[in-house]
Amino acid sequence: KQWYQRRVRADEGTALTQFLSNCYASSNLTLTWKSGRDPCSDKNWRGVLCEDDISVSSITLNNAGLNCSLDPLVGLTSLKTLSLASNSLQGTIPDGFSTLPLEVLVLSNNKLWGTLPNSLTNLNFLTLDLHNNNLIGTIPALLVSETDYLDLSSNKLGGFLPKTFGDFVADSFVNVSNNLLSGNLAFYATPTNFTVDVSCNNFRTVQAWCANSTCKLCSRN
């Protein structure tokens, strides 16, 4: 068992340093992430937390000057929290993220492009924050109905909202503003127990749909 745990940590250390090797990053990060070292037994890995000192469960590196792709992080098989907001991350959101036990994914204020992988609906997100990127395509159905905090604002998402839009968890927060979404909101359940922002899209009947809710509007509506 100890051999297996050491092997897991070594593999995760390799995934982390591979991720970093493709990045420009702040100097204090490159000084603490060292190839060949164990990210769980070596407590100096900035932004990295481990569960029971066995495997990496959390990475928080907001505003760290990262400008690479996310692909190597798919190798972190126990990752529950990934927060890399306000960097310059590029590329697409890996489809392989669906194999991780992610509960919190914060990639806002980056330069990510491409579509939202349908496979993300296999995860049980508590928080999914992807606002202010260059994401295109449509919004997967289950993604909007089973997430407590969902922010997809300020992207280039288009088409119609999923039919499940409106079937949210009580007290949840949903923001899809500043996209290219369209359609008639009268076909969706009126929001009564969650906060929603659908402003600055191409919807019809926005004001009527939001009349008795916490909806936000903008001049385009």
Is the predicted pLDDT of residue 159 greater than 90, yes or no?
yes
- Write phi, then psi, for 96 (nearest 5 degrees): -65, -15
- Whether the CB-CB separation of 18 and 41 falls below 8 Å is answered with no
Could you give the dihedral angle defined by the CA atoms of residues 167, 198, 195 and 134, in that order, rounded to the nearest 10 degrees? 90
- Whether the CB-CB separation of 36 and 59 falls below 8 Å is answered with no
Per-residue confidence (pLDDT) for residue 180, from 0 to 100: 95
Q: 22-36, 119-133, 171-185 — which is least confidently predicted? A: 22-36
Q: Looking at per-residue confidence, does 204 or 120 come out higher? A: 120
Nearest to 117 by CA among 131, 97, 134, 102: 97
Could you give the dihedral angle defined by the CA atoms of residues 133, 181, 94 and 37, in that order, rounded to the nearest 10 degrees? 40
Average pLDDT for residues 7-28, to the nearest whole number? 73
pTM: 0.89
Q: Looking at per-residue confidence, does 154 or 189 come out higher? A: 154
Is the predicted pLDDT of residue 190 greater than 80, yes or no?
no
Is the predicted pLDDT of residue 113 greater than 60, yes or no?
yes
Q: Where are the alpha helices (DSSP H) in 22-140?
A: 27-30
